Amino acid sequence: MATVTDIALTADCSRCFGLCCVLLPITRSADFARGKPGGQPCTHLREDDLCAIHDDLDARGWHGCTVFDCFGAGQQVSQVTYAGHGWRDAPVTEMAAVFSAMRVVHEMLAHVREVRRRAPSPAADVLWEHLVEITGAEPEGVLAVDLDALHDRVGTVLGNASSELRGDGPRPGRDLAGHDLRGHHLRRADLRGALLIGADLRDADLTLTDLLGADLRDADVRGARLDDALFLTQPQVNAARGDASTTLPADLARPTGWNPQMRE
């Protein structure tokens, strides 16, 4: 049986052909200084498929790139699905669809890996094996996957694990955008799919809090305890505003913009 270390679920741009910089469409906005259609390389993509402004993205108006994460799908599609053939010598439209599907599968794998670690079950083991099998499929096999059905199946496993781990935790609501949640009891809370855009979560204890799909854009998590939250992902962390005192799970990286700062 495959173990949780058998597949990489963290992006490694050095083993990818810049798929997110080429295959995905971009709309000009506050997060992207310039738009482009899917299949067209970003003007900042170098010949070696790395970003020419990677260390200066925020300052140059490309904050959206700092939030995005492929969960390792980029190198999987580049090195396994297309066996080392990049977008320059592969069907771009097909590769874009495969990359999008693979990213969904890899995110599912990340969540199921957490379930296997924290609330093991035979159902999670079987689902893990099925997802790993998909990642090794040919392009047509990846595209044949019913992602909606798979999403429902994963959701059931994650929901059962969440209930087991949280018990009878609080349910603060779903639309919490801009709310001041300091001092609220959020430990073991159900915040699955909650809108937390711009919410004030400073010093919040989010131990065993279900954050699956929660929108944390511009949420203030300075000093918050996130190291034991459930189903927290790198894109969610990247979208939030934290500092050196924010605690994170060991497998998530602290954004470079989270510098030590004055606390209010």
Give the dihedral of Cα atoms 61, 67, 73, 77; nearest 10 deg.
-10
Amino acid (1-letter code) at residue 181? L
CATH 2.160.20.80 fits 168-264, yes or no: yes
Chain-wide mean pLDDT for the chain? 94
Predicted pLDDT of residue 22: 97
Secondary structure, 3-state, 147-181: HHHHHHHHHHHHHHHHHHHHCCCCCCCCECCCCEC
Return the axis-axis angle of helices 147-166 and 122-135, rounded to nearest 10°. 150
Backbone φ and ψ for 23, nearest 5 degrees, come out as -80, -30
Instruction: Answer for the pair 256, 237: CB distance below 8 angstroms, yes or no.
Output: no
Predicted pLDDT of residue 260: 58
Predicted pLDDT of residue 2: 38
pTM surpassing 0.85? yes
Instruction: Answer for the pair 224, 204: CB distance below 8 angstroms, yes or no.
Output: yes
Predicted pLDDT of residue 117: 97
Q: d(Cα 117, Cα 4) in Å, to the nearest integer?
A: 9
Predicted pLDDT of residue 86: 94
Q: What is the mean pLDDT of each run of 10 residues along the chain (264 residues)?
A: 61 96 96 95 96 93 95 97 94 97 98 98 98 97 98 98 96 96 96 98 98 98 98 97 96 85 50
Domain parsing of the chain, residue ranges: 13-165, 168-264
Q: Which two tokens stand for residue 87?
A: 């977008």
- Angstrom CA distances, 247 to 17, 60, 259, stand at 32, 28, 13
Q: Please write the tens of the pLDDT for every residue from 57-84.
A: 999 999 999 999 999 999 999 999 999 9
Segment 129-134 long-range contacts (CB within 8 Å, at least 24 positions apart):
129/1, 129/2, 131/105, 132/2, 132/6, 132/7, 134/105
Backbone φ and ψ for 98, nearest 5 degrees, come out as -65, -45
The residue ranges of DSSP E strands in the chain, in sequence order, are none
Predicted pLDDT of residue 35: 96
Q: Please write the tens of the pLDDT for every residue from 132-170.
A: 999 999 999 999 999 999 999 999 999 999 999 999 999
Amino acid (1-letter code) at residue 225? R
